[in-house]
Amino acid sequence: MKRTVDQFIQRHRLIQEGNTVLIAVSGGPDSIALLHYLLEKRRVWNLRLVALHGEHGLRGSDSVEDMTFVKAMCVEFGIECVTEKLNVKNYIDEHSCSVQEAARECRYYFFERMIARFKADVLATGHHGDDQIETMVMRQVRGAGSGLGGIPVTRSLGGGKLIRPFLNVSKDDILLYCEENGIPYRTDHSNEEDKYTRNRFRKQVLPFFKEENPNVHQRFQSQSEWLHEDDSYLTGLAEEKLSGVITERTKKSIMISVKAFLDMPIPLQRRAFHLILNYLSIDNIRVQALSIHRKVFIDLLVQANPSGHLDFPGDLFVERSYDVCLFSTERDTKETEGDKVDEQLPVPGMVTFKRGKIKASVQENDRAGSGSLWVFKSDPGHLPLPLTVRTRKNGDRVVPKGMTGTKKLKDLFINKKVPRHLRDSWPVVTDREDRIIWVPGIVHTETGSALPKKDKMLYLECELDDDSFREVT
């Protein structure tokens, strides 16, 4: 087993000479064997070793005895040891999560703090090949998406790396190692309880694989490494492509172009979905849980109906409107009250709104007409002043230039395919009687359409700071 682990560490460059190595030690055979193995390498590789033990407080006196045992073993081995009582029950109450998830979160928070405290290079855990098989098969059954690669050999953790040197050896190898070296260990009897899914896989599925191939753990480990390598490469490509897909980004929301997203190859679409969740600071556990909804999200983008929304678990909301799709960690994906405007427009003068400004002036009549929907021209004496720049109100109607009947402003937005999330902050210009004379980029109206006949004209222009307005018109 030692030779196998030596080769695995060298191949993946898990530990370098002179490293400070933290070791997660529960007291079970896997972590105690890892502690013993690294103790033998301490002088050879000039390592500083520190054992870490988190007492979860979930198994009564057994948990306390585990902690006492780990301390005693570290004294015997001459290894620094840090123990901490983890408040798992409080975490469950505060976050309404499972016992396993709470224990993991508390444990890894402890590990991250210790990495910082000791300025450690790596933290080693005792995960082995049987754990890898169980994880990969369980995720395959559950449909875990990107998690199908199983347990990674290494990943970043705090300011260091998490490493798993035993992934290429089996549980039987570890038990034999403990027996041959006379190493005592603790047994967690909860690992035998059938109420846990992993235990059922371990007892009912794993023996069949091992009977077919005693070295099946090595086959699974090779496959895991291939999958992680492929996923890393494709995720890098997806990240590059996303720069041209994301049109807006804040801490709580991300907007994408539907067309640009669907133009990506399907393998990149899958990974881009996960990247977007990561960008919104959704933790990896929730990202894995949300991966089962990825197909529903893709269906939203390809459906014939140009609008729709999804409410995902854990306060993630997705809204599609024509060629844009908004991810948000806030339920209300519409513009906030702070995005609205209701301000008089002096002549000459200017009113700013969230995504730009409207300027007003009296200029020499160029007699060219108002060709652009972003420019408004009229006879200075035609409109009752003052003018007002505001955002839309319920029931707003306009008489489009050249027509006699009124149309709902809402219908004009729909016809122009203005995304729903932009409509509440779109500027509307009205006269003193609150009649709409111009909706920049959308419509000129009969109310404000008197062309200037004298030497002077009223000239309004909408200048945008945000291309998302101009792109939809």
- Give the end of a domain, one of 302, 328, 354: 328
Least confident of 19-33, 55-69, 277-291, 373-387: 277-291
Token readout for 157 is 């953790």
Domain containing residue 428: CATH number: 3.50.40.10
Domain containing residue 321: CATH number: 3.30.465.60
What is the rounded distance in angstroms from the CA atom of residue 387 to the CA atom of residue 433? Answer: 9
- Give the end of a domain, one of 328, 353, 377: 328
Bridge partners, residue 420, by sequence: none
Burial class (CB in 10 A: 0-12, 13-18, 19+), 133: buried
The pLDDT of 232-255, averaged and rounded, is 94
Any known ligand binding at 27?
yes
Place of tokens 């970043």: 156
Beta strands in 219-306 (DSSP E): 246-249, 253-257
- Asked if 321 and 349 sit in the same domain, the reply is no
What is the rounded distance in angstroms from the CA atom of residue 319 to the CA atom of residue 310? Answer: 6
pLDDT at res. 272: 94
- Asked if 113 and 258 sit in the same domain, the reply is no
Decide if pLDDT at 333 tops 50. no
Half-sphere exposure of 41 (CA within 13 A, CB side): 23
Q: What is the pLDDT of residues 165-187, one digit of tens each?
A: 999 999 999 999 999 999 999 98
Decide if pLDDT at 290 tops 90. no
Under 8 Å between Cβ of 48 and 20: yes
Q: What is the mean pLDDT of the chain?
A: 89
Banded model confidence at residue 38, pLDDT cuts 50, 70, 90: very high
What is the rounded distance in angstroms from the CA atom of residue 83 to the CA atom of residue 170? Answer: 28
Total number of domains in the chain? 3
Half-sphere exposure of 218 (CA within 13 A, CB side): 9
Radius of gyration of the chain (CA): 32
Any known ligand binding at 165?
no
The pLDDT of 56-73, averaged and rounded, is 91
Token readout for 471 is 């792109």
- Asked if 202 and 161 sit in the same domain, the reply is yes
- Asked if 318 and 359 sit in the same domain, the reply is no
pLDDT at res. 415: 86
Q: What is the pLDDT of residues 69-84, one digit of tens each?
A: 999 999 999 999 999 9
Decide if pLDDT at 336 tops 60. no
- Domain assignment present for residue 233? The answer is no
Token readout for 222 is 């090779």
Any known ligand binding at 29?
yes
pTM of the model: 0.70
Decide if pLDDT at 126 tops 90. yes
Which residue segment(s) compose the domain that 381 sits in?
337-471
pLDDT at res. 96: 78
pLDDT at res. 291: 66
Contacts of 209 (CB under 8 A, 6+ apart): 133, 216
Decide if pLDDT at 468 tops 80. no
- Asked if 201 and 54 sit in the same domain, the reply is yes
- Asked if 396 and 299 sit in the same domain, the reply is no
pLDDT at res. 367: 66
Least confident of 234-248, 327-341, 413-427, 444-458: 327-341
Q: What is the pLDDT of residues 456-466, one digit of tens each?
A: 888 999 998 76
Single out the residue of 276, 282, 289, 326 nearest to residue 318, CA to CA. Answer: 326
- Domain assignment present for residue 100? The answer is yes
pLDDT-above-70 percentage for the chain: 91
Q: How many H-runs (helices) and E-runs (strands) does the chain carry? A: 17, 22
The pLDDT of 329-349, averaged and rounded, is 75
Any known ligand binding at 30?
yes
The pLDDT of 434-452, averaged and rounded, is 85
Decide if pLDDT at 45 tops 70. yes
